[in-house]
Amino acid sequence: MKKIIIFLIMFCLIGDLTIMAQENSQPFEKGEINPYGEFFTGETHLNMLVSKDDVFNSSIGNVTFEKGARTNWHKHSGGQILLVTMGVGRYQERNKEIQELKKGDVVKIPPNVEHWHGAAPDSEFAHISIETNIPNNVTTWLDKVSDIEYK
């Protein structure tokens, strides 16, 4: 009887660990350290899935944020779409409230809207970033998001 109870407890614990591992998995590779790191606070990774070209005229990247990592304030002249694939994140437009983001959320950011996005303080976070209205979509990087603004 004790063996059965121990087995059931272990089974439940392993099941919980599997669920936790699945919650922190994402469909694409994490990628390399983000080469645009100067425009971010904390550690981020970038895996370009589709680079801007003349055939598909699109730019799609998987961005992974370590806990507390975030972009600077910025804007895209052609807009941006974020598809959340992992963890808990944050998104804020200038002069608006912070929004919590979770796996499955979609954020449509209109052209020239100043915003930032990144991980919550206690969670990794990943999203697919799609630049829209290419080839004329230009990212303008602005000031860092202060710790006060972030929290």
Query: Given this model, what pLDDT does residue 7 score?
Result: 38
Longest dimension (CA), the chain: 69
Query: Given this model, what pLDDT does residue 65 score?
Result: 98
Query: Given this model, what pLDDT does residue 23 score?
Result: 52
Query: Given this model, what pLDDT does residue 134 score?
Result: 87
Q: Please, which residues have CB within 8 angstroms of residue 90's CB and are 6 or more apart in sequence? A: 70, 98, 99, 100, 101, 117, 118, 119, 120, 150
CATH of range 2-150; options 2.30.110.10, 2.60.120.10, 1.10.10.10, 3.20.20.70: 2.60.120.10
The CA-atom distances, in angstroms, between 63 and each of 4, 11, 25, 101 are: 44, 34, 13, 14
Instruction: Provide the residue ranges of all domains of the chain, joining segments of one domain with +.
Output: 2-150
Query: Given this model, what pLDDT does residue 29 score?
Result: 94
The closest of 145, 138, 132, 124 to 45, measured between CA atoms, is 124
Per-residue confidence in pLDDT tens, the chain, 151 aa: 444 433 333 344 444 433 333 456 899 999 999 999 999 999 999 999 999 888 888 899 999 999 999 999 999 999 999 999 999 999 999 999 999 999 999 999 999 999 999 999 999 999 999 999 888 899 999 999 999 999 8
Query: Given this model, what pLDDT does residue 37 score?
Result: 96
Tokens 């912070």 correspond to 98
Query: Given this model, what pLDDT does residue 24 score?
Result: 63
